[in-house]
């Protein structure tokens, strides 16, 4: 295991833990909440590995106070959570749901009372079903609906949250939701995916402008899932394939948001599937951000022939089948730092699913602990080389609903027994707590 130098992180570096609404809240139709596309998707036979859903999840809607106590007990400075759009606006347009907002008011005030900084995400994928019935993110009208929702959240909570993220991982919404179709809403069309990505970017930029115009002072940005992309070999064909993958997976997102441009090579590859862009859209997208959130889990290795087999990497593989590659986090950050003019970066998610076992009431998850520790060390390395990173959040606080994998994959540093809803701090949580205490002790 790597040792993290005690001077690697500045005094005001923000350490946190992260979750999202659909994955933990449950209370699928409590207090006037409307259905989301994930409620609908879970009903499709075969869509979710263990045929589960988010109806109860971690019952966080009821247990939020104890969960906040648990978070505060870890000694983190911040908690990244998301607002369920259909909980606060059941149809995604029109009337807001007071009971839904009351929950987030309690939650945010509960964080502040415990000295935790709220990091709020507006869209962690649970689009109101009613908007999907009108075309969802493929329909340009959804952009305006999102801006209205964002403005209302900012009006009610913007004075108390430290940070507002518009979208979590637009690549997942666009590509997994609309091209691969293994995530809600389960559409399989590349043209749809590309148009969705454009609408997500546009709604992001327009929401930032609207929230700022209202006087909201929270830091605002977006969260991308990014990987460094390596060619499987030095062959010309593999290197070309890697460049194409980098174009579609990284440059498409980063350059739209930071430069207000789509990369010409990706547009050429897309041909007739290129998005419909209205005059002025790109200007609206590239509004300055206060931060860019990056979710890092693994690198990507690309070959022009047969897909690269992760088992040939020689590295550990998580329960998701993802290669454990901490160096990739440093590679990614250094590459972004070299190629772009970046706002402050946060690592808004990093963590791993491993099959845990409870032994005498304890969970000795040494592999998850090593994963987190080695990624924090890689982060320190990139920061030493000049990349500005302002915070790091472990994914996830709790074992939770892992989308199409259901409850079969456990990412939590806290175990959830889904029969009893009992929470148990795993060794990784105890390590994180001790690590943070040591950071504080040396005055940072
Ligand atoms: O659980 C997800 C999260 O919702 C978004 N980022 C990746 C995590 C692990 O797959």
Give me the pLDDT at residue 443, please: 61
- Of all protein residues, the one whose alpha carbon is nearest to atom 2 of ligand 1 is 402
Could you tell me the residue ranges of all domains in the chain? Answer: 6-441
CB atoms inside a 10 Å sphere around CB 55: 13
Instruction: Ligand 1 pocket test: pick from 184, 224, 295 the residue with the most ligand atoms within 8 Å of its Cβ.
Output: 295
Interval between CA 175 and ligand 1 midpoint (Å):
14
Question: Which residue matches tokens 């889904």?
Answer: 418
Q: Ligand 1 in contact with 348 (CB < 6 A)?
A: no
Question: Which residue matches tokens 């499987």?
Answer: 232
- DSSP string across 241-305: HHHHHHIIIIIHHHHHHHHS---HHHHHHHGGGSPP--TTHHHHHT---SEEEEE----EEE-SS
Q: What is the pLDDT along the chain (444 residues), one digit of tens a residue?
A: 567 876 889 999 999 999 999 999 999 999 999 999 999 999 999 999 999 999 999 999 999 999 999 999 999 999 999 999 999 999 999 999 999 999 999 999 999 999 999 999 999 999 999 999 999 999 999 999 999 999 999 999 999 999 999 999 999 999 999 999 999 999 999 999 999 999 999 999 999 999 999 999 999 999 999 999 999 999 999 999 999 999 999 999 999 999 999 999 999 999 999 999 999 999 999 999 999 999 999 999 999 999 999 999 999 999 999 999 999 999 999 999 999 999 999 999 999 999 999 999 999 999 999 999 999 999 999 999 999 999 999 999 999 999 999 999 999 999 999 999 999 999 999 999 999 999 998 765
Structure tokens at 117: 């900084």
Q: Ligand 1 in contact with 319 (CB < 6 A)?
A: no
- Closest ligand 1 atom to 23 CA: 4
Contact 432, 374 (CB under 8 A): no
Give me the pLDDT at residue 6, please: 67
Q: Ligand 1 in contact with 126 (CB < 6 A)?
A: no
Give me the pLDDT at residue 359, please: 97
Q: Ligand 1 in contact with 395 (CB < 6 A)?
A: yes
Superfamily of domain covering 6-441: Glycosidases (3.20.20.80)
261-297 residues labelled b (16+ CB within 10 A) or e (exposed): ebbeebbeebeeebbebeeebbebbbbebbbbbbbbb
Instruction: Ligand 1 pocket test: pick from 403, 404, 405, 412 the residue with the most ligand atoms within 8 Å of its Cβ.
Output: 403
Interval between CA 226 and ligand 1 midpoint (Å):
12
Interval between CA 121 and ligand 1 midpoint (Å):
13
Instruction: Ligand 1 pocket test: pick from 396, 400, 404, 405 the residue with the most ligand atoms within 8 Å of its Cβ.
Output: 396
Catalytic residue (choose from 25, 255, 349, 402): 349
Instruction: Ligand 1 pocket test: pick from 82, 352, 402 the residue with the most ligand atoms within 8 Å of its Cβ.
Output: 402
- Closest ligand 1 atom to 402 CA: 1
Give me the pLDDT at residue 289, please: 98
Burial of 5 (0-12, 13-18, 19+ CB in 10 A): exposed
- Closest ligand 1 atom to 20 CA: 4
Burial of 364 (0-12, 13-18, 19+ CB in 10 A): middle
Interval between CA 402 and ligand 1 midpoint (Å):
7
Give me the pLDDT at residue 1, please: 55
- Closest ligand 1 atom to 400 CA: 1
Catalytic residue (choose from 169, 179, 255, 402): 169
- The torsion angles phi and psi of 222, rounded to 5 degrees, stand at -140, 160
CA distance 28 to 24: 11
- Of all protein residues, the one whose alpha carbon is nearest to atom 4 of ligand 1 is 20
Structure tokens at 157: 């909570």
Give me the pLDDT at residue 441, please: 87
Q: Ligand 1 in contact with 20 (CB < 6 A)?
A: yes
Handedness of CA 46, 49, 50, 54 (dihedral sign): negative
Opening angle at CA 62, ends 130 and 146, nearest 5: 30
CB atoms inside a 10 Å sphere around CB 104: 23
**Annotation marks residue 349 as catalytic:** yes
SS3 assignment, position 442: coil
Please give the DSSP secondary-structure letter assigned to residue 112.
H
Contact 112, 118 (CB under 8 A): yes
Contacts of residue 324, Cβ cutoff 8 Å, sequence gap at least 6: 298, 315, 316, 317, 318, 352, 371, 374
- Closest ligand 1 atom to 396 CA: 1
Interval between CA 38 and ligand 1 midpoint (Å):
14
């Amino acid at each position: 295991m790597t040792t993290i130098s005690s001077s690697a992180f500045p005094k005001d570096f923000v350490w946190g833990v992260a979750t999202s609404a659909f994955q933990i809240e449950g209370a699928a139709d409590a207090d006037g909440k409307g259905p989301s596309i994930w409620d609908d998707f879970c009903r499709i036979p075969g869509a979710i590995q263990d045929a589960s859903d988010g109806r109860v999840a971690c019952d966080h809607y009821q247990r939020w106070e104890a969960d906040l106590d648990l978070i505060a007990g870890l000694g983190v400075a911040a908690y990244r959570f998301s607002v369920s759009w259909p909980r606060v606006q059941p149809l995604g347009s029109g009337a807001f749901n007071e009971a839904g907002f009351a929950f987030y008011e309690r939650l945010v005030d509960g964080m502040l009372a415990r000295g935790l900084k709220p990091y709020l995400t507006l869209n962690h994928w649970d689009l109101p079903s009613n908007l999907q019935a009108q075309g969802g993110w493929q329909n340009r009208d959804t952009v305006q609906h999102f801006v209205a929702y964002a403005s209302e959240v900012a009006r009610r909570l913007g004075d108390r949250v430290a940070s507002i993220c518009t979208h979590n991982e637009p690549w997942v919404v666009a590509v997994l939701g609309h091209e691969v179709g293994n995530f809600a809403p389960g559409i399989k069309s590349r043209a749809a995916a590309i148009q969705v990505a454009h609408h997500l970017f546009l709604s992001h930029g327009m929401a930032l402008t609207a929230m700022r115009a209202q006087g909201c002072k929270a830091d605002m940005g977006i969260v991308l899932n990014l990987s460094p992309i390596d060619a499987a070999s030095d062959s010309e064909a593999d290197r070309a394939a890697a460049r194409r993958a980098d174009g579609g997976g990284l440059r498409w997102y980063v350059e739209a948001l930071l430069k207000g441009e789509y990369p010409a090579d990706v547009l050429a590859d897309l041909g007739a599937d290129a998005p419909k862009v209205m005059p002025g859209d790109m200007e609206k997208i590239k509004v300055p951000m206060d931060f860019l959130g990056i979710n890092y889990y693994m690198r990507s290795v690309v070959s022009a022939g047969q897909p690269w087999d992760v088992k040939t990497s020689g590295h550990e593989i998580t329960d998701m089948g993802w290669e454990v590659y901490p160096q990739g986090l440093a590679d990614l950050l250094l590459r972004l730092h070299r190629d772009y003019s970046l706002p402050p970066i946060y690592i808004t998610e990093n963590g791993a699913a491993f099959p845990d076992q409870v032994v005498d009431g304890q969970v000795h998850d040494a592999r998850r602990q090593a994963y987190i520790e080695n990624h924090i060390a890689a982060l320190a390395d990139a920061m030493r080389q000049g990349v500005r990173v302002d915070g790091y959040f472990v994914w996830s606080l709790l074992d939770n609903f892992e989308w199409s994998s259901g409850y079969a994959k456990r990412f939590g540093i806290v175990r959830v027994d889904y029969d009893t809803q009992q929470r148990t701090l795993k060794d990784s949580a105890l390590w994180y707590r001790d690590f943070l205490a040591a950071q504080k002790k040396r005055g940072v």
